[in-house]
Structure 1
């Protein structure tokens, strides 16, 4: 099964660390990163999709961050 996650965070080093940790845990980048202004909070936000091949079947109970 291919698992999918979309990582987001404010445009700070926290976002880069979140993506780097996912890569270190075996996730792979999927598509281009996104960058948008969050007008309600007055900050820029980043996003990056990642995928990972995992064993087993899909269940909505999966804890994607623990795969």
Structure 2
């Protein structure tokens, strides 16, 4: 059976670039859409201040993304 999972990333505060205004908000809206309208089974949300998953940071750094993906797959 197919599993519908999504990885949603919204970054407003970059370390070396000008900050964005709506990336995090757009990602949150996409997360809500995928959950409510499309009924995705699991949605992983990474943003500047997203909550931890199992005590691990979800700040959208390469190492954090790789750790989560390796754990899942």
Alignment TM-score, normalising by the size of structure 2: 0.36
Structure having the higher strand fraction is 1
Structure having the higher helix fraction is 2
